Structure 1
Amino acid sequence: MEFSVVFQSILIITIMIFIGVVLSKTFPFNEDTRKLFISLIVNVAMPCIILSSIFKVEINKDTFKLMVLVFCLSIVINSIGIALGWSITKVFYKDSNKKRELAILSGLGNTGFIGIPLCATLIGPEGALFAAIFDAGVDFVIWTVGALILQKNSRFDLKTLKSMINVPTIAIVLGLGTAYFNIKPPILMIELTSQLAALATPIAMIYIGVLIMTLKASKVRESGSQIWVPLSVKLIILPLTVLLLIHVYAFNPVINQTILVQSMMPTLTLASILFSKYSADEGMGAITTILSTIISLSTIPLMLYVVNMFFVF
């Protein structure tokens, strides 16, 4: 990885977030506008990134094996993050009633909104493909491990399974299906998905910029005594753990880079929505998401700089 590319990508992301901050003054941010942003990102831009990445990469038997490996690694890495968050919270806040929220916020990152576009920029189409598979692993953990932790009855049922069926997941299945059966999509479809995929980063970053302006100081102070746990685990401890993992097992260089970048992502953007669904503290989810996103603008390039200084990929 070229550090100059990393720095330029983070700088562009910062500018886009700032544009969102400015635009937040020009329209009311309510439930309808929030749903519009999320719908465009989740149902249009993200599926097109996935399809575009698959269309641009020559997928063979070996590539499929690597994709399965990345999916499994994603499940392991995210589960480790959740376990670390739970353990640290139990040590420092034994009587806290926010263990569930803090554990989820520690393990699950913004591997879709930020991770896939960043991997596409830093590593190329193959990196974007593996990043999409990693994100599919995150979705799997959200609606299995995450749902089980957040549900009071801790039961995996048909409703939970149905929640795993979403547009990005369908895009992965369709894309892999076309690759497996060697179906070449029309040039029009390739060009369309490529152009729509370009919407992902700008819309997601502008959305985060708008979200920043909803942050209330009183709520930050209320949750501030505990959210250092997910911030430290998600942005520092988990990436260092992944760095140790890839140093020991020495996977494919592209996979090494992809899972390392994905492990550095800030907390899941949809955390507050997930918490709301299971009657958890959605305010803590929103605050942690925003603060981790802001802090990650410094930690991501710093961590990658350290990696480039001391490790060779």
Structure 2
Amino acid sequence: MEFSIVFQSILNITILILIGVLLSKTFSFNDETRKMFINLIVNIAMPCMILFSIFKVDLNAGIFKSMLIVFCLSIFINLLGIALGWILSITFQGDSTKKREIALMSGLGNTGFIGIPLCATLIGPEAALYAAIFDAGVDFTIWTVGVIMLQKNRKFALQTLKSMLNMPTAAIVVGLVVAYFNFKPPAFFVHLTEQLAGLATPLAMFYIGMLIMTLQRGKVREKGHHLWIPLMVKLILLPFSVALFIHFFELNPKIIQTLLIQSMMPTLTLASILFAKYSADEEMGALTTIISTIISLSTIPLMIFLINLIGVY
């Protein structure tokens, strides 16, 4: 992978985030505007990006097999990150009451908002499809292992499956069914999905830029001693761990690149929402998401450069 392409993509993302920062000064970024952006991204832009990726790729038995491998490896990578965060939390903060939050933020990344658009830009439509499947693995982990960890009774209820029924997941299922039966959608529909897919990256970065402006110094100082573990695991230890174990698999280079890039993503944007739902530390989730996103603008190209040196790419 050309490092210049990586640098250019990160530079573009940085500029879009800065535009989001400027936009936040023009209107009130409250719960309503936050919901609007999330709905536009999650329910329109991301599903269209997934569908367009499927339309652009010539799916065959080999691709379907690769997608299953990516889904399984996604769950493994997520659990690996969660385990690393849990172990480090016990080792360095044994009396902490935030072990659950730290562990989940260490393993679950922003593979949808940032990961899918970045893989599409750096590698192409096939990688965007694999990135979407990886993100489906993250969703599966969130609403199974994540929910079990956050619930006080530690039981998995069937109603948590409803949370997995979202538009990106539906887009994957519909797209794969259409591709399996070799149905060719009308040209105007493909063109429409392409146009709407183009909204995914700008909207997601604008949202993150506006989220950054909600950061408060007092809260950072108050919770800062908890943040270093998920930041270190998610942005450094997990990508290097994936780079090491990926050598044991004979995989398509595009799959390897997708897995590595997705493992480098900052903490998932929905961390604060997930924690609020299960009475965990919502503010800690929001802070980790914002700070990890800012730092990842430097660590993503750095990790790609270092992993490039050891010959994974």
The residue type paired with residue 135 of structure 2 is D
Deviation at 1:188, TM superposition (A): 1.0
Give the alignment of 1:1-313 within 5 angstroms: 1-313=1-313
Deviation at 1:157, TM superposition (A): 1.3
**Partner SS state of residue 130, structure 2:** helix
Residues 35-73 of structure 1: CA deviation (Å, up to 9, x unaligned)? 001000100011011101001000001110000000000
Structure 1 segments unaligned to the other structure (5+ residues)? none
The residue type paired with residue 290 of structure 1 is I
Deviation at 1:312, TM superposition (A): 4.7
Alpha-carbon separation, structure 2, partners of 1:303 and 1:93: 27
Aligned length: 313
Alpha-carbon separation, structure 2, partners of 1:151 and 1:100: 10
**Partner SS state of residue 227, structure 1:** helix
8 A Cα contact 1:250 1:256, kept in partner: no
Alpha-carbon separation, structure 2, partners of 1:217 and 1:145: 32
Alpha-carbon separation, structure 2, partners of 1:102 and 1:26: 34
Residues 204-248 of structure 1: CA deviation (Å, up to 9, x unaligned)? 101111011100101001110111000000000000010001123
Alpha-carbon separation, structure 2, partners of 1:283 and 1:262: 24
| TM-score, length-scaled by structure 2 | 0.99
8 A Cα contact 1:271 1:285, kept in partner: yes
The residue type paired with residue 217 of structure 2 is A
The residue type paired with residue 32 of structure 1 is E
8 A Cα contact 2:243 2:312, kept in partner: no
8 A Cα contact 2:17 2:205, kept in partner: yes
**Partner SS state of residue 224, structure 1:** helix
Alpha-carbon separation, structure 2, partners of 1:282 and 1:129: 31
**Partner SS state of residue 225, structure 1:** helix
What is the percentage of aligned positions where both structures have the same residue?
69
Alpha-carbon separation, structure 2, partners of 1:194 and 1:108: 28
CA RMSD of aligned residues (A): 0.8
Deviation beyond 3 Å, 4+ runs, structure 1: none
**Partner SS state of residue 53, structure 1:** helix
The residue type paired with residue 146 of structure 2 is G
Alpha-carbon separation, structure 2, partners of 1:300 and 1:21: 21
Alpha-carbon separation, structure 1, partners of 2:227 and 2:163: 27
Alpha-carbon separation, structure 2, partners of 1:24 and 1:231: 25
| TM-score, length-scaled by structure 1 | 0.99
Alpha-carbon separation, structure 2, partners of 1:23 and 1:258: 31
Alpha-carbon separation, structure 1, partners of 2:118 and 2:232: 21
Deviation at 1:249, TM superposition (A): 2.0
